[in-house]
Structures are given as C-alpha cells and as structure tokens.
Structure 1
Amino acid sequence: MKEMPPGMLTYPLRRPEGHRPPVQRWQLTLGKDVQKVFTAYVGVQPHRSAIDNSTAVKQATDAVEAWLSTDTEDRPLSTESFNHLEGDDAPNAHIWVLYWNDPVKGETNLQKLDFTSIYANLAPENRMLVGLWRESFKTPISRLKTNYSGLDYLPGLARLPETGTREHQLSAYWSAARDRIPASAHDLFEKDEDADITRPGDIPDGLGKHLTGTNYHNMVHIRSGQFWEIVVPKRQSRTKQSWNQP
C-alpha cells in the first residue's frame, strides 16, 4: 500500500503538484505476508414487528452467535456487530461484519454457517417472519484502500493481526480515493459489461426462497462511518440538528 515512484506508474497520480493535505490522514499497513483479505456480512432480518417475530429472530441470532463462538483455526480474526436502525432496508436487522487475512480460511469457515439448517429448525409458522443473508468477497491488497481521520477508533480490518497505520498524503483533492488504490497505477477500473447484462429484469421475491448471486468484476464495496464516543455533546447536538434541516 505504498506509493509508487512516478516512473513506475502507467497512469499517474491525480494529486496536484505540491499538494499537502490540510489535515492529517492515515491508512492501514497489513502484515507482510497478507496478499488478500476476506470480508463477510451476515444478517438476521425481521420481516414484521418485533412482537410477532421475537422468537424467530432470537433463534436465528443464537445460531449465528453459536457459530461465531466456535474456537477453530479458521474462525474470523476480527468481528463486529450492529443493528440496522433505518435507511433503505428493513429496520432492526442484526448484522455481523467478519474479517480474515486468509480467504481460504474465510470461505471454509463461512461454509460452516448452515443457513438451510437454521431455517429448517425454525417453527413453520415463523419461517416467513425472518430472513437470513450473507455476502462475502475477497479483496487483493492492490485493490484495497483505507483512510482514517484519527487513530482513536480503528475498526474492522484494522483489528487483523500485524496491522498498523501510517500517515499518507493522498487526501483532500479530486480523485484522491482513486489514487489510494495501489492498482490504479496500472488499471483504470473500466466498467465490466456484466454490470448491466447480469442485472435481473424482475427483482425476485425472496420471502421463503433461497437466492444466490455473484458480483461482476470491478464491483466497489464501501464501508464508511463516524465515531461519536469522544465527540462532545454540544457538537453532537449541533450536527444532528443540521441533519434534520429541510
């Protein structure tokens, strides 16, 4: 994840000459033997009110937690969980984010999370009340970028073994995000033709069904967020008020 010398770039950096970021930014440094990372999102998603589906949600959630608690060599090396409160999806979903520095171990471990069995063990009347889903992907280090505004909260990939941080200058200019991806030195990340031709004409109804899918080439996955624990209450209130402005 180091910057390449200008002479080694097929496509030069977009950073303006002499540019210096106005504030400090950091990126991760992974272990020297890490070539790819493996990420998985696992979700238990209610379909109706919590009163109606509390039993189904608890049963499914307990099954995922039991899988996570198994102490095996291929277990996730970094795990986080949160509740989805609002947005473009059904509220109150419980989501786990899992990371490995070895895709083989990640894929092997994820196969042990048997959604078919979990679903079959739900009472028949509860099966339409809850959805189970997972999404996983491998990321070559050459196509991974990270950017942190501080070092007080480093979640996710930053918690993998032998991971550190270093300050970088690829920030606060147009196309800085592109420049932070090492592979951009030799790849323009052209849109894959499958991005259009593989899109289904009719979105399938997933209730009661087992659906699978794959990503096309050059799919972008973004995890972004803010850490609020150390923000003073006055600033929190001011920021939240600005979100509610018409």
Structure 2
Amino acid sequence: MEPAIPEHLVTVRTRHRRVGAEYTPPYPCFVARHNPSVSQVVMAYFGLQFRPGRETAAAVPLAAIAQVFSEQDGPGHWDRARCTDEEGFVNVVSVAYWNDPARFQNWFAAHGAGWTENEPADAKLGFFTEILKPAVERYETLFSASDRAEGVAVIADGMSGMVREHAYWGGMRDRIPLSQTDAMEPAGAPRVVKERDRLRIIPQDNLCLIRSGQDWTDTEPEERRMYLEEVEPVLRSGMDFLRDEGLSCGCFANRYMQVIDVEGRPIEKSFGVSWWKSLSALERWSESHPTHVAIFGAAMKYLSSLGPAAKLRLYHEVTVAAADQQFFEYRNCHLKTGMLKAG
C-alpha cells in the first residue's frame, strides 16, 4: 500500500487527513506518478460550438487543431469529446496536456492563441479556450485500474501501486499535495470582461476543475447492458442537474461528454467535466446531494453485483488552480458557455 502523495511532495502536515494510518480501503485504486522533475502541467480545452447541422463547417477547424497538435512543442497527449449543451448547441472539445509549461507557451504562441480568431465565412461557429496550468501540488488523479491511463495521467511516467487514500469522503482532498498545509478556499469571484470581439474571465483564486470518466470498452455484453441501462441514466441525470442547475450548489458549468475519435465517431468512453467555485463545494455535492447519492448508489449496486469480474474502468482528475494559473477566452459563444455562466 502506497501513500497517494509522492515522497518528493510530502511535507510536514498542518492539516489532518480524514483517515488514520491504519485505514485499509475495501478495493484497489491507483494514482498517476510524474517524474519528480515535473513541477507544473497544462490542461488546455479547445472548444468549438455550433448549431446541429453545421458539422460540415465544423470539420475544418477541428481538422486544423488536430494537425497543429502534431507541430513542434505540441501536447504529449490529447483527446476529443462532444456534448449538447443547455442551449441546444453542439460543443466539441479537444483536450490537450503538456508536462512542460514552457513548451506549451511556445506552441500556444505559434498555434493555439489563434483558435479564438477562427470564423469560417460559411458558418457561425463559436470558439473557446479554457486553460489551467497547475503546479503538481494542486491536483490529484484516481484510477480503478493501473494499466490504462486517461487525461493528464497519459503524460505521467506511470502509475502507483495501490494507494490508501480512497473509498472515503475526503479522499479526494487528501490526495492533493497542497492539502497538507492549505485549505484551498476560494478568494474573489470570477467576472467577465470584453476585449474587442472576445469575452475573457478574470479568475478567482482556487477555482476547482474535475474531469471524471467512464470506460466500458472491455465490458462483456451483460455488464455493458447493466452499465448502459442501470447506471448511465442515473449518471446522466446527475450531469444534467449540474449543467442546468449547478449554480445552486457551487458548480459554475458542467459538460457530460461522449468521447469521439478524430473522425467524429463515438468511442465507448465518456467523462463529465465541471468547473466549481471550490473544492469544498464539489465535496458537499459529492457527499450529500441527492443527485450524486443516486449516482453513488447505482454504481455501488452495479460493482457489488459483479465484484472483481467488473471490467468498467473509472478515473478522475481534480485540480484546484491559483488565479494566475487560469485562462478563459470565448468568441461568438452563447452566454451560458463554460465559465461565462460564472460572471
């Protein structure tokens, strides 16, 4: 059993963990391990927004961003997903990760900064860029299996052995290295400013982002049926609540996304990605809100019925970003897009 926080990030605690050293989790989970030389990563969401039926026009900028990801200093990993938002617009997001912010800055100056300048003449498309550049002390990961990485974990060196800090309320916080000494409480409030034809967010301190995913590619037919018929509808209901009413519990924005390949074909993977006022707000929703209690109950019933034979893979990454580690820019997007809702 390993501690979730790697040895080189362990410091003298001034804040207590939620469980003691004698705690043993009921099932195995794993975390991503970066090389100790990695001190900061980049999580960049390049979004395209359009009305249904505009897929042909949307294909041009989507192909362009995929192409420039392969240019010098491009991301170590990227993937793509789509959803329909609360206003009925399709949102396709290409999510890219770097383990070197200097390389990201070089690439972004050459290729990424122009993303929100796109406007094909034959269609009205919206473009947005949502970027976090957290120090490694400010985020954590968790995986139900150690042999397939997703998201930021793909650019890590590998996975840990089984870790202790999971399967209890508060484990998410306990896995974030900064939690050893800092409550990570929010400061300030995000606000929208207009710069020419773009809207930008002046960020708050300690904004929280979670990407939480599901992978059912390896499931046998009966397990796939159980997941898609008994668990996924409950998950979707909770994701829809956060999308439509999340502000009531501190969630600024939520997207429940279907992973797709570069040709736009769905893959048997999904993830929710949501922006929160604070880690505390995310914790309160997770621990006590009826929508998440229902998700948790459906998942536990599913997993307890299958036991070790379950092949569904689950993961998440949670980040608490300082104000100077955030960048949000929107062009030609409706005002409920992403962090625009927060302003």
TM-score (norm 1): 0.81
Once the two structures are overlaid, the 10-residue window that deviates more, 20-29 or 101-110, is 101-110
Q: Quick one: structure 1 residues 69 and 20, their matched pair in 2 at CA, closer, same or farther if it must change by over 3 Å?
A: same
Which residue in 2 is equivalent to 1:98?
96
Partner of 2:52: 49
Distance 1:87 1:239, change over 3 A: farther
Question: C-alpha separation between the residues in 2 aligned to 1:7 and 1:43?
Answer: 38
- Give the drift of 1:21: 0.3
Q: Which runs of 5+ in 1 are unaligned?
A: none
Contact 1:12 1:185 in 2 (8 A): yes
Bigger fraction of residues in strand? 2
AA in 1 matched with 2:52:
S
Q: Which has the higher contact order (CA 8 A, sep 6+)?
A: 1
Q: Unpaired segments of 5 or more residues in structure 2?
A: 238-343
1:45 partner SS: strand
Instruction: Determine helix, strand or coil for the equivalent of 2:228.
Output: helix
Seen in structure 2, the aligned counterparts of structure 1 residues 181 and 6 have a Cα distance that, compared at 3 Å, is closer
Amino acid at match of 1:219: L
The structure where helix makes up a greater share of residues is: 2
- Between structure 1 and structure 2, the one with the greater Rg is 1
Instruction: Provide the C-alpha distance between the structure 2 equivalents of 1:6 and 1:211, rounded to a whole number of angstroms.
Output: 39
How far off is 1:233 after superposition?
Answer: 1.8
Give the Cα separation in 2 of the matches to 1:69 and 1:172: 38
Tell me, in whole angstroms, the C-alpha distance in 2 between the residues paired with 1:5 and 1:76: 25
Q: Percent identity?
A: 25
Q: State the Cα RMSD in Å.
A: 2.8
Amino acid at match of 2:137: S
SS at match of 1:13: coil
| One-letter identity of the residue aligned with 1:97 | V
Matched residue SS, 1:26? coil
For the pair 1:30 / 2:34, whether they are aligned, the reply is: yes
Residue of structure 2 in register with 1:76 after alignment: 75
- Aligned to 1:21, the other structure's residue is in SS state coil
Map of 1:1-246 to 2, 5 A cutoff?
Answer: 1-2=5-6, 8-16=12-20, 18-46=22-50, 48-50=51-53, 53-70=54-71, 72=72, 74-84=73-83, 86=84, 88=86, 90-111=88-109, 112-113=111-112, 114-115=114-115, 117-119=117-119, 122-123=120-121, 125-126=122-123, 129-160=124-155, 162-192=157-187, 194-195=188-189, 198-199=190-191, 209-242=197-230, 243-244=232-233
The one-character-per-residue Cα deviations of 1:56-111 (angstroms, maximum 9, x if unpaired) are 212222322232232x1x21111111222x45464532211111111122133123
Q: Decide whether aligned partners of structure 1 residues 37 and 16 sit closer, same or farther in structure 2, where only a CA change above 3 A counts.
A: same
SS at match of 1:146: strand
Question: In the aligned structure 2, how far is the partner of 1:227 from the partner of 1:168?
Answer: 21
Confirm or deny: 8 A CA contact 1:3 1:182 kept in the other structure: no
Report the alpha carbon displacement of residue 19 of structure 1 after superposing the two structures with TM.
1.3
